[in-house]
Chain A
Amino acid sequence: MLPVRSLPAMHALRNLRARWVTSLLTAGGMALVVFVFTAIRMVGAGIEATLVATGEADNLFIISDGAETEVQSTLARDQASIVMARPEVARDQAGRPLASRELVVLISLPQRDGARPANVTLRGMEAQGRTLRPRVRLLAGRWFNPGAAEVVTGRSIAARFDGAGLGETLRFAGRDWRVTGVVDGGGTAFDSEVWGDLDAFMQAWRREAYSLTLMRLASPGPEAAFRRILASDPRLRIDVQSEAEFYARQSRSVRLFFDVLGWVLSLVFSLAAIIGAMLTMYASVAARTAEVGTLRAMGFRRDAIFLSFLVESLALGSIGGVVGVLAAALLGFVSVSTLNWQTFSEISFRLTITSEIATSAILFAVVMGLLGGALPALRAARLDILAALRAS
């Protein structure tokens, strides 16, 4: 019986429209909060999406035991050799293992716009490293030659860093490196890396150990078994994980940070929006006191009155939520770059809205409407019929 005995929601919406300037301002305040909430969380989701996309599910990622990042990992030459010699490792037509030993180094490079230098990930790799990352395509120029002081740059690096463009020269590790090509990482973290030849990098930095070995198994599947075999070898103190899993983990704390930041900032701002909604709704109750008296006299119960005002503020919240989310979704067209402090390197990404973010943002707005409307609706419901009627 409740839906019949309550006032139609249409009535609440008409009241909002009748006071459209106030309604717009109130919903606008909530939209702003939702926008901030959504945008901040979109940053975290964008970084996460980029990193998760970076890892190939079939690739195995071998780093030293306990290393959190590629840079922290050291893999001795003999350790890498043992792994690559295993029969489970896939081989190409020429019989060479489908694996790439790699050295990852962070260096600080000057930016084009004169902004402070920023950290860039440099990756020295073997030829198979490109085969294992099929989504990275050459946009312009050519790949680096083995042993040469040549690099290719990710397109975001090429655009943002001094000397990183095609045909330009980067200076690091005490020598000049010609940029022979620019690559498209396909929206992965590789857009923000500089790649060169493994041996050239090892010599330039006088390194004896690698950072990691990236490889693929001959038949995908027995990954757990392979992991056990390697773990049982006392000479190897290494960690085997899928590349996808590794990159996903890289994003976890970043994602968490932005989620928490989004929630905390929005909760603070939402206080203002809730108070705004409350004032609006109190004004609405005051303006419609006689109306409440009339409805109560007619036989509408207190709960119908309560619900009617609550629906009104819920509508305000929902409108604010939808507008805020839509406005924030437009940010999805923006590509930005920030420091991924988990790896201390720059990463460029697109702000990404997920259905979870959109849903929680709208829910957030609905709760704001609920909180802002509850007390005024209660006041309306508690009005005395005669006192309310006298307000006409």
Chain B
Amino acid sequence: MAARLAGKTMSEAAEPEMPTHALNAGKPAAPMVRLSAVSKSYWRGGEQLTVLNNLSLEVAAGDFIALMGPSGSGKSTLLNLVAGIDRADTGQVEVAGVDLATLDEGALADWRAANVGFIFQFYNLLPVLNAIENVELPLLLTGLHADARRTRARQVLGLVGLADRLDHRPGELSGGQQQRVAIARAVVADPRLIVADEPTGDLDRAAGADVLALLGRLNEGLGTTILMVTHDQHAARAARRVLTLDKGVLVDSAGG
């Protein structure tokens, strides 16, 4: 798993106009994620609820971050901003050199397809598709032809240890297996960034440990930057760096 898979070409096929690769090539130390003075608030019954207030953060390429903090502190909100499925009110969200505010809805969708892999607490697999079809989904957005998609999806399912479960539907898999399919789906298009919102939240300890080990290997082997929200100290230990968000303030602590 030392070498990256054929993914580079896939990202390029999907987003030929994206300048990020060129930018990165020049300065490898550039942060993968840079939040500058980001604020986000919600209006609830005429009252403004500020979730993120003037928050700044840098995440280096290849880092594995565990984001912790009490419920309602804004962890998911922060993750969604970085993943490009939510927008900041003020401030700048830059990922791999791209200011997400400059992208319109469609361009942002294409950008996500090329750059972000999602892992959800409840796996969010499509129940009518089997494992390999679920993993193939992101590849539909790459312009890769059917044979190559199939081959690639099979390969990645092998990496997560599910080579013998290719044609199982989600309903025929355990929670841990489903989350591994979801991880395969998140990495299959070779994103720069993986965002995971409580990926072990619905799993027992052993299955959770499997998932964390897998994320660790992806981070080390593929160099994928991972941003993971978790409530679990064990989970946090898998990360290189732990950030705690509380009352709008980010506190850095060394990771496991």
Contact = CB atoms under 8 A, between A and B. Distances in A.
A207 interface: no
Interface in B110-134: 110-114, 116, 118, 120-122, 124, 126-129
B110 A297 contact: no
Given A294-B120, A386-B80, A392-B120, A301 B128 contact: no
A1 B106 CA distance: 14
Interface residues of A, number: 27
Contact of B140 (A5, A294, A389, A392): A5
B251 interface: no
A16 to B, nearest CB: 9
Contacts of B124: 290-291, 293-294, 389, 392
A342 interface: no
Nearest to B185: A298
B85 A299 contact: no
Nearest to B124: A294
A5 B141 contact: yes
Given A5-B141, A14-B128, A386-B80, A298 B86 contact: no
Contacts of B6: none
Interface string A286-306: 000011011111111110000
Contacts of A297: 83, 85, 112, 116, 118
B122 A392 contact: yes
Contacts, number: 69
Nearest to A19: B128
A295 B85 contact: no
Sorted nearest first, the 7 A-B pairs with minimum C-beta distance are A299-B113, A14-B128, A294-B124, A299-B112, A385-B85, A299-B109, A18-B128
Contacts of B208: none
Interface of A: 1, 4-8, 11, 14-15, 17-18, 290-291, 293-302, 385-386, 389, 392
A302 B110 CA distance: 12
8 contacts: A1-B143, A6-B140, A14-B129, A291-B126, A294-B120, A296-B85, A386-B80, A389-B85
A44 to B, nearest CB: 43
Nearest to A390: B76
Contact of A11 (B80, B83, B105, B129): B129
B76 to A, nearest CB: 9
Interface of B: 80, 83, 85-86, 105-106, 109-114, 116, 118, 120-122, 124, 126-129, 137-138, 140-141, 143
A389 B111 CA distance: 19
Contacts of A295: 137
A298 B129 contact: no
B126 A298 contact: no
B241 to A, nearest CB: 24
Nearest to A294: B124
Q: Which of A1, A7, A293, A298 has the most B CB atoms < 10 Å from its CB?
A: A298
Given A1-B143, A7-B140, A298 B118 contact: yes
Contact of B143 (A4, A14, A300, A301): A4
Contacts of A392: 120-122, 124
B128 A386 contact: no
A292 to B, nearest CB: 10
B127 A18 contact: yes
B86 A386 contact: yes
A386 B85 contact: yes
A304 B83 CA distance: 20
A102 B210 CA distance: 96
A391 to B, nearest CB: 10
Contacts of B112: 297-299
A72 to B, nearest CB: 65
A385 B83 CA distance: 12
A299 B138 contact: yes
Contacts of B137: 295, 298
Nearest to B15: A299
A4 B124 CA distance: 22
A291 B124 CA distance: 7
A4 B140 contact: yes
A17 B114 CA distance: 32
A289 to B, nearest CB: 11
B75 to A, nearest CB: 14
B194 to A, nearest CB: 12
Given A1-B143, A18-B127, A300-B141, 19 more contacts: A7-B140, A8-B140, A11-B128, A11-B129, A18-B128, A293-B124, A296-B85, A296-B109, A297-B85, A297-B112, A299-B109, A299-B110, A299-B112, A299-B141, A302-B105, A386-B86, A389-B85, A389-B120, A392-B124
Nearest to A12: B128
Contacts of A18: 127-128
Given A298-B112, A386-B86, A15 B138 contact: no
B115 to A, nearest CB: 9
Nearest to A8: B140
Nearest to B122: A392
A301 B83 contact: no
Nearest to A5: B141
Contacts of A385: 85-86
B128 A15 contact: yes
Nearest to B83: A297
A291 B121 CA distance: 14
A17 B122 CA distance: 24
